[in-house]
């Protein structure tokens, strides 16, 4: 064979291969299957997945190869055979087809062939390939093996007799999720895939094993036996429970969302989806869903028509315009709804409007900003500092990118947190300190020296820092750190559409959310908010709202909304409306309606248009969503005045308030499967052993926590991972809502 390249015009890192007679240029070191996929030449496979390491254990991709006129003695696995210059590959000749058909026969020997009752039926890779490569009659007459099933939690259903041991699920939990919860047990014909200990999957990405499974061994437990794929209508939508803005498809039947699957976007979520985004659609059918307008008459709630509900809302807003009004929106509100809220406030002469309902420190007038480095490029970083974030729970798919940076690029990851959280990447260094010392930790010379030599350093600031009473000082320290080290500053937006709402002008020209409660207004408009759980300072919020007239545009007619509101107008959630949201990259993305609006609920923009029309406000003359977008084009820029700093309090322990992974918003809190997940733990306070000893309490006992805003009674856990002087509490629980943040006094109950 000549040492000269077949095609001397190719780049030096490429070679020429011939697949089924088609000449292709392929990168050196790549596999035959990758070259074929790029050229659109089909090769059957089960174990190969382009996001996972090569296993080469299903052998379905066997092909015939030839080099220098000499044919290989045996078929080669296309997924594990690297290309070479002049290589000829035959995917459909007699030798290749015979090998592929033989492999298929072996795979079907023990498969139960229960397609009529299998949830994977209609979208099963084994079904598809057996049609082309399988025999019509089995030659195997012995008894098939049966594998006992494990209960691996509320999200993933198992039928392991169907498993063909492709090991995709094992590789996913090991390589991507990093939890190594699935593995192969026993040997030979007795090989089984499972957890061994029978415990539920605890990874926050567990639903992805359903997508990678090529057969019906792992299926969606929430979707189980509910529909066939051909009955479903797919609509493009977005994840709206964190700022990632994961791309996804909602699959619905007769207007009801039955399941959620990922939509590939390499710049955002690759081909993965967090369990929070995958299963939250359950919450849309909650018993307390707002399905009709309600009005409080003489202290009693009465269901009314939209006309009467709008009339009551109009009466409240006409009587309390200008500075007497406060407008508050949930940070997952769409760009269109947020823009119309801002327009409504402006036309009413109201400068009291905000979406930063989880923040506590407004002294630096900070708003959400896009990441300085796109999320897809963070995995290329060589030094990463994470400050104030349980990033695995806050942004599960960003955490997966950090793991990829560490495992594949050998990135050094440093952490500054109040708790030694469980991450699936190796930590090069960490400082476990109370949140008030984050700024001091960022000024530490050793940390700066550890990052200074990096070529692509990144600083990520999370919710614990952003929502702390001294957040302004932490943000200033983060900016100084980034300037001194050259790090790209990536502050995680606190809400799915916080960046979009900041651009749309849902920001105060007068009072921010804290000032609106410190100096109560006569009336409020609440948009998409569950008042008892969504505000940073629940006690102050409920006190102000209870003393005012409140118009609530709400997805749920929950207890806390009924307690404070005078009018409830039902609106659609993101899966039920046409909308755009702006993710942490600053990219505006579209969601399309997949579910039927429940009862008399309306798209939010329709409700706001109707309210603006009743009030006779300019700019609300449009009749469709395109008209609304035309009115809002260009956004509304607001010069945000600095507000007040948060109050840290004195003495006692400092609260490390961390968002609970499955308590982040009203829809997630109502998704039954997520609430049953092991990561969703009950409200509790976690103390360092030294602090627990000083208080005189122990694990399992109940303590009373007295904060500046309220009091809570919680069980105690003792854990050395918590910084001394800090108390770890998860937000989103009714039991912890009264505490706010800052310092608390903990005493035995």
129 and 153 assigned to the same domain = yes
Pair 233, 325 in one domain: no
CATH of the domain at 80: 3.10.20.740
Q: How many residues does the chain have?
A: 749
* Largest separation between any pair of C-alpha atoms in the chain: 95
CA atoms of 551 and 567, how far apart (whole Å)? 5
Structure tokens at 544: 């102000």
Residue corresponding to tokens 């692509």: 456
End residue of a domain, out of 225, 258, 285: 285
Q: What does the DSSP assignment read for 238-298? A: E--SSTT--EEEEEEETTEEEEEEE--BTTTTBT---HHHHHGGGGGG-TTB--S-EEEET
Query: How far apart are the C-alpha atoms of 438 and 428, rounded to whole Å?
Result: 18
Residue 313 falls within a domain, yes or no?
A: yes
Pair 91, 155 in one domain: no
So what's the pLDDT on residue 188? 84
Say if residue 134 is in the same domain as residue 253: yes
Count of beta carbons in the 10 Å neighbourhood of residue 73: 5
Residue 369 lies in a domain: no
Question: Per residue, what are the HEC states of 534-558?
Answer: HCCCHHHHHHHHHCCEEEEEECECC
User: Residue 393 maps to which CATH number?
Assistant: 3.40.228.10
| 687 and 605 together in one domain | no
β-pairing verdict for 325-329 and 523-527: parallel
Domain end position, chosen among 285, 306, 340: 285
Query: Which of 632, 663, 684 is where one domain is finished?
Result: 632
- Nearest CA-CA partner of 206 in 241, 156, 166, 160: 156
Are 312 and 179 contained in the same domain? no
Please tell me whether residues 101 and 237 are part of one structural domain.
Answer: no
Confidence at residue 748, expressed as pLDDT on a 0 to 100 scale? 86
744 within domain boundaries: yes
The reported pLDDT for the residue numbered 1 is 44
CB 744 within 8 A of CB 574: no
Contact 519, 486 (CB under 8 A): no
CB 284 within 8 A of CB 595: yes
> Do 125 and 169 lie in a common domain?
yes
Rg (CA), the chain: 28
∠ CA 457-462-467, rounded to 5°:
145
Residue 145 lies in a domain: yes
Give whole-number Cα distances, 190 to 122, 145, 187, in Å: 28, 8, 5
> Encoding tokens for residue 165?
């041991």
Residues 128 and 270 in one domain: yes
Task: Report the Cα 590 to chain-centroid distance in Å.
Answer: 16
How far apart are the C-alpha atoms of 402 and 423, rounded to whole Å?
10
The residues with which 412 forms a beta bridge, in sequence order, are: 383
CATH number of the domain that residue 621 is part of: 3.40.50.740
Cβ atoms of 646 and 220 closer than 8 Å: no
Q: Cα(210)–Cα(349) distance, rounded to whole angstroms?
A: 52
CATH code at position 697 = 2.40.40.20
3-class DSSP assignment, residue 304 = coil
* Helical residues (DSSP H) of 547-660, grouped into ranges: 559-564, 604-615, 625-632
Residue 447 in any domain: the answer is yes
- The answer to whether residues 445 and 478 belong to one domain is yes
For 718, the 3-state DSSP assignment is strand
Query: Is the same domain home to 469 and 324?
Result: no
* Rounded to 5°, angle at Cα 728 from 725 and 733: 145
Q: Answer for the pair 27, 16: CB distance below 8 angstroms, yes or no.
A: no
Cα distance between the two ends of the chain = 84
Count the neighbouring beta carbons within 10 Å of the beta carbon of residue 685: 28
Residue 31 DSSP symbol: B
- Residue 62 inside a domain? The answer is yes
For the beta carbon of residue 92, count every other beta carbon within 10 angstroms: 13
State the Cα–Cα distance between residues 276 and 472, nearest whole angstrom.
30
Query: Considering its fold, how many domains does the chain have in total?
Result: 5
Same domain? 678 vs 718:
yes
Residue ranges of alpha helices (H) inside 110-212 are 125-133, 168-171, 208-212
Residue 175 lies in a domain: yes
The token pair that represents 486 in the structure block:
């050259």
Domain assignment of residue 552, yes or no: yes
Residue 397 CB burial class (10 angstroms; 0-12, 13-18, ≥19) = buried
Q: 704 lies in which domain range?
A: 653-748
CB-side neighbour CA atoms (13 Å) of 517: 22
List, in order, residues 6 or more apart from 345 with CB less than 8 Å away: 325, 327, 351, 352, 353
What parts of the chain have a pLDDT lower than 50?
A: 1-2
């Amino acid at each position: 064979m000549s040492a000269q390249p077949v095609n001397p015009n190719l780049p030096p890192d490429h070679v020429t291969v011939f697949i089924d007679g088609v000449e292709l240029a392929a990168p050196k070191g790549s596999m035959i299957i990758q070259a074929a996929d790029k050229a659109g030449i089909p090769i059957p496979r089960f174990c190969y997945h382009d996001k996972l390491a090569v296993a080469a254990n299903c052998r379905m991709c066997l092909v015939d190869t030839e080099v220098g006129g000499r044919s290989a003695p045996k078929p080669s696995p296309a997924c594990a055979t690297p290309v070479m210059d002049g290589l000829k590959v035959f995917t459909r000749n007699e030798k290749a087809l015979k090998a592929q058909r033989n492999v298929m026969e072996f795979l079907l020997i023990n498969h139960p062939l229960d397609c009529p009752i299998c949830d994977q039926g209609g979208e099963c890779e084994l079904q598809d390939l057996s049609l082309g490569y399988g025999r019509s009659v089995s030659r195997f007459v012995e008894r098939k093996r049966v594998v006992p099933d494990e209960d691996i939690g509320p999200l993933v259903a198992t039928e392991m007799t169907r498993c063909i041991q492709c090991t995709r699920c094992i590789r996913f939990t090991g390589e991507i999720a990093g939890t190594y919860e699935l593995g192969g047990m026993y040997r030979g014909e007795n090989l089984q895939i499972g957890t061994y200990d029978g415990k539920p999957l605890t990874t926050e990405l567990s639903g992805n094993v359903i997508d990678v499974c090529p057969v019906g061994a792992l299926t969606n437990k929430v979707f189980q036996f509910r529909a066939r794929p051909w009955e479903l209508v797919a609509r493009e939508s977005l994840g709206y429970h964190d700022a990632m803005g994961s791309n996804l498809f909602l699959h619905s039947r007769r207007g009801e969302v039955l399941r959620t699957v990922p939509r590939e976007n390499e710049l955002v979520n690759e081909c993965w989806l967090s369990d929070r985004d995958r299963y939250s659609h359950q919450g849309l059918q909650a018993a307390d869903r707002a399905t009709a307008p309600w009005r409080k008459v003489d202290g009693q709630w009465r269901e009314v028509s939209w006309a009467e509900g709008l009339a009551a809302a109009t009466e409240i807003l006409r009587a309390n315009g200008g500075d007497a009004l406060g407008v508050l929106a949930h940070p997952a509100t769409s760009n269109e709804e947020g823009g119309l809220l801002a327009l409504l406030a402006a036309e009413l002469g109201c400068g009291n409007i905000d979406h930063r309902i989880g923040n506590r420190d407004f002294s630096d007038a900070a708003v959400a900003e896009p990441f300085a480095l796109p999320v897809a490029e963070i995995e290329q970083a060589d030094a990463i500092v994470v400050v104030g974030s349980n990033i695995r729970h806050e942004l599960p798919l960003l955490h997966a990118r950090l793991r990829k940076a560490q495992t594949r690029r050998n990135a050094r990851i440093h952490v500054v947190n109040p708790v030694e959280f469980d991450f699936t990447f190796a930590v090069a260094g960490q400082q476990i300190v109370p949140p008030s010392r984050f700024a001091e930790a960022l000024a530490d010379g050793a940390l700066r020296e550890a990052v200074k030599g990096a070529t692509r350093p990144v600083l990520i600031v999370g919710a614990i820092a952003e929502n702390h009473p001294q957040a302004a000082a932490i943000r200033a320290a983060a900016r100084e750190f980034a300037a001194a080290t050259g790090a790209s500053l990536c502050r995680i937006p606190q809400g799915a559409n916080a960046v979009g709402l900041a651009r749309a002008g849902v920001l105060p020209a007068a009072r921010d959310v804290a000032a609106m409660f410190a100096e109560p207004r006569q009336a409020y408009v609440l948009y998409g908010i569950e008042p008892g759980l969504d505000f940073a300072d629940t006690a102050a919020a409920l006190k102000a709202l209870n003393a005012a007239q409140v118009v609530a545009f709400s997805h749920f007619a929950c207890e806390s909304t009924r307690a404070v509101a005078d009018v409830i107008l039902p609106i659609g959630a993101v899966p039920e409306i046409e909308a755009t949201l702006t993710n942490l990259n600053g990219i505006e993305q579209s969601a399309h309606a997949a579910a039927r609006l429940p009862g008399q609920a309306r798209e939010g923009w329709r409700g706001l248009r109707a309210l603006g029309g009743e009030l006779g406000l300019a700019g609300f003359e449009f009749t469709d969503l395109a008209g609304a977008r035309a009115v809002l084009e260009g956004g509304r820029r607001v010069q945000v005045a600095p507000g007040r700093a948060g109050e840290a309090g004195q003495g006692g322990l400092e609260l490390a308030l961390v968002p609970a992974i499955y308590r982040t918003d009203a829809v997630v809190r109502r998704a039954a499967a997520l609430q049953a997940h092991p990561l969703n733990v009950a409200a509790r306070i976690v103390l360092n052993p030294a602090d627990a000893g000083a208080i005189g309490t122990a694990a399992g006992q109940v303590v009373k926590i007295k904060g500046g805003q309220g009091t809570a009674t919680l069980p105690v856990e003792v854990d050395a991972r918590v910084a001394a002087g800090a108390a770890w509490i998860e937000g989103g629980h009714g039991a912890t809502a009264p505490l706010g943040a800052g310092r608390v006094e903990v005493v035995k109950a």
